[in-house]
Amino acid sequence: MADFPPPYLDPLNQALADQFASQPPIETVPLEQLREEFNELQNHKTIPGVTRTSFTVPFEDGVKAYVFKANGAKGDLPVIFYFHGGGWITCNVHTHDSICRDLALKTGFAVVFVEYTLAPEARYPTQQEQCYATVKWVSEHGHSKGLSQDTFAVAGDSAGGQLAIATTILCSTRKPNIKISYQVLLSPVTDTVTSDRDTPSEFRFFNGPFLTVPFMREAIDLYIPSPKDRTSELATPQHISAAHAKLQPPTLIVNSSVDPLRDDGFLYGQILQRNGIDCVITEQKGQTHDSAVIEPVRNGATPRATVRLVAASLKEALGAVSNVSKKRVLNGDAEEVEEKESKTRKRRKTRKSY
């Protein structure tokens, strides 16, 4: 590999990079140990003001989903479906508790976190089918959980970004269609075809800091063992057809500057923009992979601003949809009242004629 000058990292991200540089590369750590270490890395003080409940989606052996709502929230709330990262092989509701609480507090919406089955315990396409099944169940039964059944956004970080895109493709192409009004992708994986066709960011940050290309390749091998399966647009979003790209929702893509996946986000965003999708592509300077989620760095100035941007974008998008839905309901009520009043006037007129 070529020698590069050290990239700029803000103090919190530099400390994280130094911590990982002093440890064995993450791709060499046994899977069970890696899961335990990520759980420890993501230990945190619980953000107050949010209630977390759970339910099980009756799909195959059942899919556990968690609902985050700000305390005191009432009515059927717009829903942000959150799909977590961790290379499809690690992480859970504990590791992503803070980002879900933040979004629930800052938007006033419900966040539904899908705890899909990790690889290699389950393989592609099980995870995206579980994510889609959860969205579909909420679209049919959400009222029973205080959730809107038609005002949805999706969000995902890293591997969860790939699952978010796959879910939006399934929602827009399967019948009946399920409308996803907005999409947020944080440091997303958009190419699972492991070959020598490295992007500049993969080449530059092959060995990290923090996330490494060898780790991603091992994770992909566990998630999608068949190279043939990786060519599907559902596995590699960069292969999305033009027809399906045009069906993608407005999207916000947040990339970290010091991240082997940086160019994955850029390249997918360019595809969306060229197909007429309202897509914002940003790069957060001085940040390692997924800094808005990783506990040792997420309270820095840039990750905090990222979360505010994400929340504001979601609030604007789903708030507009929710207001339209309410207006339709109110208009429907007004029409029903007018119809009843009209019938009453006719009955009175008929009585007078006698």
pLDDT for 334 equals 46
DSSP symbol at 7 = P
pLDDT for 345 equals 55
Q: Using CB atoms within 10 A of its CB, is residue 210 exposed (0-12), middle (13-18) or buried (19+)?
A: buried
Positions of the chain with pLDDT under 50: 329-330, 334-338, 350-354
Domain 11-328: assigned CATH number: 3.40.50.1820
Dihedral (C-alpha) 276, 279, 285, 291: value to the nearest 10 degrees? Answer: -140
pLDDT for 277 equals 98
The SS3 call for residue 224 is coil
pLDDT for 2 equals 61
pLDDT for 346 equals 56
**Domain map of the chain by residue range?**
11-328
Q: What is the CA radius of gyration of the chain?
A: 23
pLDDT for 159 equals 98
pLDDT for 323 equals 75
Residues annotated as part of the active site:
158, 259, 289
